[in-house]
């Protein structure tokens, strides 16, 4: 059977919807992973022991087990014990926390590397430790690891394909739906690949914009 890309146009709508869902789930997870990463980093470095230890354990769980399994656990597992999350929400929680843990590792390293004089100067002005952390240390740490956080976000975009297995009709699942109707896996998976690549380019442009804005402030 030869290739025939003319099977794609009738499914433009399906694929476009898939792209929108992929962007939505990636954006929501990216925001969660960014702020979650900051929270985890601050707690890991400055939290009281009784908070730090359980956080550490959860972080270890998210880093040490497959993302696919985490998605199953959050979506199907939690439903069994009565926490019935919509697939989109379960996907955002899984992706978001998974990458929050990775972001937090980056941010922690950068926070430790921020000059001690920064905290001292902030405390000397009368800021509380929390204020000094959130206004002075964290922004500098985040600024310093923006490029590797950007890499994590691109990995997140690609891993968003995994939420197709819990039924979020994002790009991969949309392609599968089209394949189910046409039996044309090559054409639709190739089309999805191209669309992922285009989203990726857009995302890189956004990240570069953030990095540029930070150029002077170091």
Partner 1 sequence: MTQTHPFVEIRHAQKSYGKLEVLKDISLTVERGQIVAIIGPSGSGKSTLLRAINDLDPLTAGEVWLDGLQVNKSLPHRQYEKHINEMRQQIGMVFQHFNLFPHLTVRENVTMAPKLLKKITDKEADTLAEEQLDHVGMLERIDYYPSQLSGGQKQRVAIARALAMKPKLMLFDEATSALDPELVEEVNLVMKKLAEEHMTMIIVTHEMDFAASVCDRVIFMDKGLVVEEGPPELVFKNPTQERTQAFLRKHLEGAK
| Residues of the shown chain interacting with partner 1 in the complex, contacts defined by CB under 8 A | 115, 117-118, 120-129, 131, 135-136, 139-140, 143, 214, 216-218
**Residue 145 CB burial class (10 angstroms; 0-12, 13-18, ≥19):** buried
Closest CB to partner 1 among residues 52, 143 = 143
Q: CB of 120: closest distance to partner 1 in angstroms?
A: 6
CB 188 within 8 A of CB 182: yes
Q: Which is nearer to partner 1, 3 or 125 (CB)?
A: 125
| Closer to partner 1 by Cβ: residue 25 or 132 | 132
H/E stretch holding 180? helix 171-182
135 vs 158, which CB is nearer to partner 1? 135
One-character DSSP codes across 44-66: HHHS-HHHHHHHHHHHHHHHHS-
CB of 1 to partner 1, least distance (A): 58
CB of 146 to partner 1, least distance (A): 12
Token pair of 97 as six digits: 């926390």
Name the minimum Å distance from CB 142 to partner 1: 9
Helical packing angle, 49-64 and 87-113, nearest 10°: 120
Instruction: Name which of 82 and 117 has its Cβ closer to partner 1.
Output: 117
Going from the C-alpha of 210 to that of each of 29, 135, 168, 197, the distances in angstroms are 18, 18, 29, 20
Helix, strand, or coil (residue 83)? coil
By the 8 A CB rule, do 146 and 210 touch?
yes
Question: Shortest distance, CB of residue 214 to partner 1, whole angstroms?
Answer: 8
Calculate the alpha carbon distances from 59 to 25, 44, 54, 203 in Å.
21, 10, 9, 26
Nearer to partner 1, 181 or 213 (CB): 213
CB of 68 to partner 1, least distance (A): 38
């Amino acid at each position: 059977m030869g290739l025939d890309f003319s099977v794609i146009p009738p499914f433009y709508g399906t694929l476009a919807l898939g792209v929108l869902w992929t962007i939505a789930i990636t954006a929501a997870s990216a925001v969660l992973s960014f702020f979650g990463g900051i929270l985890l980093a601050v707690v890991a470095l400055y939290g009281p022991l009784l908070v730090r230890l359980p956080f550490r354990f959860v972080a270890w769980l998210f880093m040490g087990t497959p993302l696919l399994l985490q998605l199953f656990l959050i979506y199907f597992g939690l439903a069994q014990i009565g926490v019935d999350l919509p697939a989109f929400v379960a996907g955002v929680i899984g992706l978001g926390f998974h990458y929050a843990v990775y972001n937090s590792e980056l941010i922690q390293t950068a926070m430790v590397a921020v000059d001690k004089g920064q905290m001292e100067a902030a405390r000397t002005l009368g800021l509380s430790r929390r204020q000094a952390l959130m206004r002075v240390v964290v922004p500098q740490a985040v600024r310093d690891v923006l490029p590797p956080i950007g890499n994590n976000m691109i990995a997140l975009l690609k891993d968003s394909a995994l939420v197709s297995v819990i039924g979020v009709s994002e790009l991969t699942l949309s392609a599968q739906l089209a394949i189910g109707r046409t039996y044309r896996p090559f054409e639709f998976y190739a089309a999805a690949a191209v669309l992922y690549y285009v989203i990726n380019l857009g995302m890189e442009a956004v990240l570069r914009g953030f990095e540029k804005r930070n150029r002077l402030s170091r």
